Amino acid sequence: MKVPTDELQRRLNGYLRRRKATDLPGVTAVARIDRRTKRLTKRLKAGEIAIIDHVDVDRVSAEALVACGAAAVIDVAAGISGRYPNLGPQILVEAGVTFVDNATAEIFDRVKDGDLVRVHEGVVYLDDEVVAKGDVQSAESIEAAMVEARAGLTVQIEAFAANTMEYVRRERDLLIDGVGVPDIATVMEGRHVLIVVRGYHYKEDIAVLRPYIREYRPIMIGVDGGADALLEAGYVPDIIVGDFDSVSTKALTCGAELVVHAYRDGRAPGLERVQQLGCSAVVFPAIGTSEDIAMLLADDKGADLIVAVGTHATLVEFLDKGRSGMASTFLTRLRVGGKLIDAKGVSRLYRSRISTPSLLLLVATTLITMGLAVIVSPVGKIWLDSVRDIWNGFIFWLVGLFS
């Protein structure tokens, strides 16, 4: 097929630009641009440059960017604002990713997804044109910023406490009496429930829980992307909870019961997507996060034990989420109480009911018992005489070879 001349010229110009760019210093790669890091990592490929708008890059987002193989990350916001010591920038730099923050916000208007850009000493180039400038972060600059952030942590703790009290005031009926928890078809009464959030070390936690899952067969709840995490691990979620902005269509149509997290006024943005797929869903209006309502749902429906994977457990993790609503997670954990255990705790406490030494002892005892039964039985004596004759014949034949 003959290619038009203008198309050939366009391809040639593109090739020459790429060839020229790769000869220049810095990182040159295709740009992927999105204000939401979670959305961007779904299409970011190894060696590409991520352009984001993310104040206080958190640990989960940084680990996702590293896992995608980002060559550089350009953030138009402050990677470390000083609110608290967030871990994201440190993870990026330690992984060898070029990290530039406080970049010129106009980059979102001047760079399109898929453009070839170059990053050098905090300056972003599109062809030969400067489209943004920012601050290159190093291990030393990040450590200095973290020291300042730790000094201001008290203010964040006070704000967190204030948000907690506000959440108690607005959601006391749900927290204390369970008012507003919807009815669902899945029976949890007397069962273990495994709640999976695509958060901290979720893959490792699921891996260590395989013996527990195999033995107890818990009800599995995927919180948004946690449903895909279960599918990747070879499991099918029983329930999917969330606003469904970060869960795949494959997960939503896997047959799990769907619970849409809605605002208190009844608005449920995720419900439209579910209806477009031809699926049915239950709506759960609540102020907190989706992982909160998953825990409240399991507790209200009579679960004996709730095992959490990838959820937030410490104060720094609550702050690292970057939202005041994380106060709800703190109170939800108090509400659920002794039923809730972190996956890492299960891996330390749980042991299979039949240990390996016990299993080997059982097998050895069985073999000895069978051997004794054969020896004392009439059939066993005939069998042993036959074995003895075969053995003697073998020895006689072996001796004859050397005589």
Q: 229 is written with which tokens?
A: 């995490």
Going along the chain from its start, the domains and CATH numbers come out as 5-149 (3.50.30.10), 176-349 (no CATH), 356-402 (no CATH)
- What is the rounded CA–CA span in Å between residue 110 and residue 312? 37
Do 205 and 344 touch, CB atoms closer than 8 A? yes
Element (H, E) at 52: strand 49-52
Rounded CA-CA distance 75/95 in Å is 17
- The pLDDT score that the predictor gives to residue 1 is 47
Cα–Cα distance between 99 and 27 in angstroms, integer?
A: 11
Closest CA to 261 of 301, 299, 223: 223
Note down pLDDT in tens along the chain; length 403 residues. Answer: 454 566 555 554 554 455 555 568 899 999 999 998 988 998 999 999 999 999 999 888 898 999 999 999 999 999 998 877 888 999 999 999 999 999 999 999 999 999 999 999 999 999 889 999 999 999 999 999 988 887 766 776 777 667 667 766 766 666 666 567 889 999 999 999 999 998 777 888 898 899 899 999 999 999 999 999 999 999 999 999 999 988 999 999 999 999 999 987 778 888 999 999 999 999 998 877 888 889 989 999 999 999 989 876 666 666 665 555 566 666 777 778 778 888 766 655 555 455 567 667 777 777 777 676 666 667 667 777 777 777 777 777 767 766 6
Q: What pLDDT does residue 176 have?
A: 63
- The alpha carbon dihedral of 312, 303, 285, 36 has a sign of positive
- E-strand spans in 70-213? 72-75, 98-101, 116-120, 123-126, 129-133, 135-136, 192-197
Per-residue model confidence (pLDDT) at position 234: 94
Query: Which of 347, 342, 344 shows the shortest CA–CA distance to 329?
Result: 342
Rg (CA), the chain: 30
> What does the alpha-carbon distance between residue 25 and residue 396 come to, in Å, rounded to a whole number?
84
